Amino acid sequence: MLQHYLSAADLSHTAAETLLQRAQELKAEWRNGSHRPGSNGELPLQGKTLALVFEKPSLRTRVAFEAGMVQLGGHGSYLSANDIDMGGRESIPDVARNLSRWIQVIAARVFKHATVETLARYATVPVINALSDREHPCQALADMLTLQEQHGKLSGLRLAFVGDGNNVCHSLLLLGARLGVNVAVACPPDYRPNPEILELAERYAAEHGATMTVTASPAEAVDSADAVYTDVWASMGQEHEAARRRLIFQPYQVNSTLMALAKPDALVMHCLPVHRGEEITADVIEGSQSVVFEQAENRLHVQKALILTLLNL
């Protein structure tokens, strides 16, 4: 049974497949304008509240969680850094223990991964990592759902991630490995993924017949790829590094020249927000192969499926 979702590694192969299947069903219901009520005639999250504890601003994560709760009969309560000041006015354990008395799920978007781990340690309700410096596991779920929808499968696909070996990259490695996706990461030598995460992903990949590759060559990673993924070069909290990173990452821009090395129908992926003209050119992200807004929509559906799974509903 899934108690918390702090890392993409928290899902087994079977659990990940089951969650994605449920997300597809929820998406179909949403597209049809309906949701199946429970045996008591109520929507499944009737009377339930999700606390959104956010140290960082958000568009997709906040709206997808809040809208998902409403669509399933529940409510989202947004708490910004100004409302709580975790570690300052309120200790993290006290935040967790207070919220657990009032609400049914906590989604935390934080700077340090240790924060979500501490919340989970002291909370008596499920905790979801809505983004930390180590991982972005909800995004990876949306990405895998998008790949599955577009290609009709996941096992055996080649996903190239070009840019910084960051939190998004980490979750893609872990979840991709669990689901049999071959993940190739191209990044500058000093910006490789966390070695511990890479080692864990390689272990999962061996179990599911996939490969994990890290290279300094974008061309090598993108060669024959079914999808090419990139992210901003400087994430929130790294703004002071932005100018230096632009110089280092310039050879890792996803543009039409690089995309020509992938399969002709390769998908273009990005978790957003995007800096057009930096990590990716406008013509590529706006082109017919781009599925970035499908990824964004799928955040809604996988997060609904995740909440229902955590609450055993």
Give the active site residue among 4, 62, 134, 136: 136
Q: How far apart are CA 19 and CA 140, in angstroms?
A: 12
Give the active site residue among 4, 60, 62, 109: 109
User: Is 271 noted as a catalytic residue in this protein?
Assistant: yes
Residue 78 in tokens: 């947004």
User: Is 139 noted as a catalytic residue in this protein?
Assistant: yes
Give the active site residue among 60, 158, 299, 301: 299
Give the active site residue among 231, 289, 295, 303: 231
Q: Answer whether 165's CB lies under 8 Å from 194's CB.
A: yes
User: Is 75 noted as a catalytic residue in this protein?
Assistant: no
Q: How far apart are CA 15 and CA 1, in angstroms?
A: 9
Give the active site residue among 271, 289, 295, 301: 271
Q: How many CB atoms lie within 10 A of CB 220?
A: 13
User: Which SS3 state, helix, strand or coil, does residue 10 take?
Assistant: helix
Residue 227 in tokens: 């999808």
User: Is 231 noted as a catalytic residue in this protein?
Assistant: yes
Q: How far apart are CA 137 and CA 11, in angstroms?
A: 10
Sequence-separated (6 or more) residues with CB below 8 Å from residue 204: 9, 174, 177, 178, 210
Q: How far apart are CA 300 and CA 67, in angstroms?
A: 7
Give the active site residue among 139, 253, 289, 295: 139
Sign of the Cα torsion 225, 281, 148, 144 reads positive
For 113-127, letters b (16+ CB in 10 Å) and e give: bebbbbbbebbebbb
Q: How far apart are CA 272 and CA 260, in angstroms?
A: 22
Q: How many CB atoms lie within 10 A of CB 269?
A: 28
Q: Which residues carry out catalysis?
A: 109, 136, 139, 231, 271, 299
